[in-house]
Amino acid sequence: MKLARLWAVLPMWAAAAGGALGHQDACQQGCPAGEAQPTIYACEAAFYENHVWPRQYSGPARRGICHAAEMMTVNGWRRHNLLGKHHFEPNGEQLNEAGRLKTEWILTQAPPSRRTVYVQRSASPDQTAGRIDAVQQFAAEMPQSAGGADVQETHVRDDGYPAGAVDAVFTGFQASRPAPALPSAGGESSSSGGSAE
């Protein structure tokens, strides 16, 4: 039984010793001409770096993934809290009903850390400033609002449609839907596969 354990451990020990001897040989061969000779500490450091590979890269990779996920979350909330041209009156400066409802939702229902209102940048800076002022004025008039709201302009575009156009699509679908009807009672059953004579 002890001999079987020895034969099981021997290949692992030989592989570890061979790797260490190969690394030692590489360190004893020296460096190319013109470079400083490696010390035993440099050889040991190289050995341990190779021994822990790839664990030394796990931390930076995880931080990169977490940073990318955080950026996606921030961009998602920015798009969700975005007021586009469809949230303002046709003259372009005052909030319409959809804009007032969305602003109210952002300032009262969104998580407290995500209550920033973003206004889409328009062609003229004066119109953008007027839109921001309209949102801040509406937020100041809200009873739930403690002070002013954080309103920022953004380059992100709102790809939405006016609520009236969306409502017309669904209303038209409901209006053109045929009335429900049962099949006629005298029809043949298609599941029987033929007549029962």
Divide the 197 residues of the chain into consecutive groups of 10 and give the mean pLDDT of each group.
59 53 49 58 82 84 93 94 91 89 93 93 92 93 75 87 81 87 74 51
pTM of the shown model: 0.57
| Greatest Cα-to-Cα distance within the chain, rounded to the nearest angstrom | 103
Judged on CB neighbours under 10 Å (0-12, 13-18, 19+), 110 is: middle
4/12 Cα distance (integer angstroms): 14
